Structures are given as structure tokens and as C-alpha cells.
Amino acid sequence: MSTTVAFIGLGQMGGPMSANLVKAGFDVVGYDLSDQARALAEASGVRVAPDVVAAVNGAEFVITMLPTGQHVLDVYADPSFFPATRPDALFVDSSTIAVDQARSAAELARAAGRTAIDAPVSGGIFGAQNATLTFMVGGDEADVASAKGVLEGMGKRVVHCGGHGSGQAAKICNNMALGISMVSICEAFVLAEKLGLDPQVFYEVASTSSAQCWALTTNCPIPGPVPASPANRDYQGGFATALIAKDLALASDAADSVGTATEFGRLAAKYFRQHADNGAGKLDFSSLLVALREQAGVES
């Protein structure tokens, strides 16, 4: 008999992730508030339940892939949630949420006699569609080991980062560095252009010099040098500005909680928050280049 996985949150990430679990041979029961998300999941072989409680009933694993930590805590704190689940069910939250919220979620599970782990992902929508996500996992060794088969149905790498919340800690530290490096690459392009350099020439130098990084050579913010980067598709698809702004805000909050300055992280948070507020929330975060070019009076 196949293992039953309940999947709560069938959006841009949860939809393809749950579809990959079906392909990997799991029996997947899903639920989402959105009619459209439910219909798409059903078409990919997910058994759609009428509500959360019906979805989790009988499942060996309960995965949540929800927008924010508050959504996750609301689901976990609903008095009918844990009693509807098997006592031996393992709870896996793959949403990106605050470290202390991940620890609160694990504590809610523990108080109900259940076990939870945090398992946020990197790899974006492309990784979700192609089952190539990396999972950064926080929790007890034995629980991480028992979730491995399910996680490998949706990704190619599972890294056990430590105790509860440490998966989220790894995720937001990584994304803080990513946000800072994208700001630095966008600023470097704008300055290069202001100094009269051809952006293509600057790319050729920087991509083989010490400024080389993912933000430059994979997600290059100017159209041209890297054909697959979102800059060549008017910044559609890719990693949304609203999401990097959310992750950088989580990093700043986490830094506050442990009294760490992270000044560049906070500046990057400000840049991307403003960019999202100015209407670029759904565009790839490398579109910051367009805003910085405008500010600097560089023609696109």
C-alpha cells in the first residue's frame, strides 16, 4: 500500500510539489482555499479534500506550503487539526517562515503528542516543477530520516541543518546573502554604465573576475549576456521581488532577536521593499536594476 501524504497549500510551489509526489507513487490528499489551486491539483492526480481536517485524516505525513508563518500557526493551532491526524503522523512545514514561528509550530505539535520538522526549500517554482528543490531541514535526526523519502519525491537534496528552526535559519541567511549580492550586482551595472562602460563588456570582465556570483552569471539583471535569466523575459517568472522582500524582513527580524547588526541585509530589505511597493512585487527581483537605472538617469 502506498504512503498517504496530506498536502495543505497547493499554490505556485505546493501545486507542482504535490504533483511530483503523485508521480513518485505517493497517495496525495490535498487542500487549498483557492478553487483554482484545487482544480489544478486534481488534474495532476491529487485527491482533493473538502477541508483541512478531511485532508489530514489518516495521512502518515502532513506537509504545509503556505504563504506566511501566521498561516502555518493558524492551521496548527486550530483545535480540530491535530486530533484529526494519526498519532504517528509527521508534520513537515516547507513554507518560508520566521525561525521562532517554526519553533512555535514544533511546540504546538509536541503539545498535541505529535512531531514536526521545518523543511523550507530553495530552487523556486522551476525546482518545484522539476523535483530539483533543496530542502533545509530542522528537527530531530530520526524524524528527518523518516521524512527523507517524501522530500526526495520533490527535490534532489535534503540537508539536515540542526534542531527545530534551523532549516528556516539556513534559508533566511542564504536569502539575505542573495538579496545583498543582487543589489551589489545591480549597483555595479548602473555605475559601469554611468562611467561609460558597455554592460556586455562589464559582464565579460566581472563574470570571470572576483565579482562572479549567482546573481550575475545565472540571474543576470541585464538582458543579453545570460539568455535564460528573467531579464530577457521582461522580468516575468523567476524569484518575485515580494518574496525576497519577505525573506529579507524575516532575516532582519531574526537579526534583531539575537542582537546582530546585518546592516547590508537591512539595506537590501529596504531596497526590495520599496521596489515591491512601487509595483514590482510580482517581477523577478533582478528588475531592481530598472529602478536603479531610472534613479541614476541611465536609459534602458
Q: Give the one residue of 3, 12, 174, 207 binding ligand NAD; rule: CB under 6 A.
A: 12
Residues touching ligand NAD: how many (CB under 6 A)? Answer: 25
Q: Give the one residue of 4, 5, 7, 14 binding ligand NAD; rule: CB under 6 A.
A: 14
b vs e for 235-260, b when ≥16 Cβ sit within 10 Å of the residue's Cβ? beebbbbbbbbbbbbbbbebbeeeee
Q: Quickly list DSSP for 254-272.
A: HHHHTT---HHHHHHHHHH
Rounded distance between C-alpha atoms, residue 78 and residue 41, angstroms: 24
How far, in whole angstroms, is CA 65 from its chain's centroid? Answer: 9
Grid cell of 145 as nine digits: 530520516
- Whether 23 is a known active-site residue: answer no
Task: Examine residue 11 and tell whether it contacts ligand NAD (CB under 6 A).
Answer: yes
* CB of residue 204 to ligand NAD, shortest distance in Å: 29
Task: Examine residue 244 and tell whether it contacts ligand NAD (CB under 6 A).
Answer: no
* CB of residue 298 to ligand NAD, shortest distance in Å: 29
Decide: residue 141, CB within 10 A, 0-12 exposed, 13-18 middle, 19+ buried: exposed
**Residue 135 forms beta bridges with which residues?**
121, 158
Q: Give the one residue of 24, 33, 188, 267 binding ligand NAD; rule: CB under 6 A.
A: 33
Task: Examine residue 241 and tell whether it contacts ligand NAD (CB under 6 A).
Answer: no
Task: Examine residue 191 and tell whether it contacts ligand NAD (CB under 6 A).
Answer: no
Grid cell 512585487 is found at: 281
* CB of residue 12 to ligand NAD, shortest distance in Å: 4
Measured from each CB, the residue nearest to ligand NAD is: 11
Task: Examine residue 34 and tell whether it contacts ligand NAD (CB under 6 A).
Answer: yes
Q: Which of 23, 171, 194, 246 is catalytic?
A: 171
Decide: residue 213, CB within 10 A, 0-12 exposed, 13-18 middle, 19+ buried: middle
* CB of residue 185 to ligand NAD, shortest distance in Å: 19
Kindly report the number of other CB atoms within 10 A of residue 174's CB atom: 16
Identify which of residues 89 and 249 has a Cβ nearer to ligand NAD in the complex. Answer: 249
Q: Quickly list DSSP for 83-123.
A: GGS-TT-EEEE-S---HHHHHHHHHHHHHTT-EEEE--EES
Q: Which of 40, 289, 266 is nearest to 280 (CA)?
A: 289
Rounded distance between C-alpha atoms, residue 167 and residue 137, angstroms: 4
What's the length of the chain?
300
Identify which of residues 202 and 239 has a Cβ nearer to ligand NAD in the complex. Answer: 239
Grid cell of 27 as nine digits: 497517495
Task: Examine residue 124 and tell whether it contacts ligand NAD (CB under 6 A).
Answer: yes
Residues 60-119 that bind ligand NAD (CB under 6 A): 65-67, 71, 75, 95-96
- Among the listed ranges 25-33, 192-200, 219-227, 285-293, the one in contact with ligand NAD (CB under 6 A) is 25-33
* CB of residue 73 to ligand NAD, shortest distance in Å: 11
Identify which of residues 13 and 215 has a Cβ nearer to ligand NAD in the complex. Answer: 13
CA dihedral 133→11→171→219, nearest 10 degrees, is: 70
* CB of residue 95 to ligand NAD, shortest distance in Å: 4
Identify which of residues 33 and 191 has a Cβ nearer to ligand NAD in the complex. Answer: 33
Are 56 and 62 in contact by the 8 Å Cβ rule? The answer is yes
Task: Examine residue 18 and tell whether it contacts ligand NAD (CB under 6 A).
Answer: no
Residues engaged in binding ligand NAD (CB under 6 A): 8-14, 31-34, 37, 52, 65-67, 71, 75, 95-96, 121, 124-125, 239, 243
Active-site annotation, residues:
171
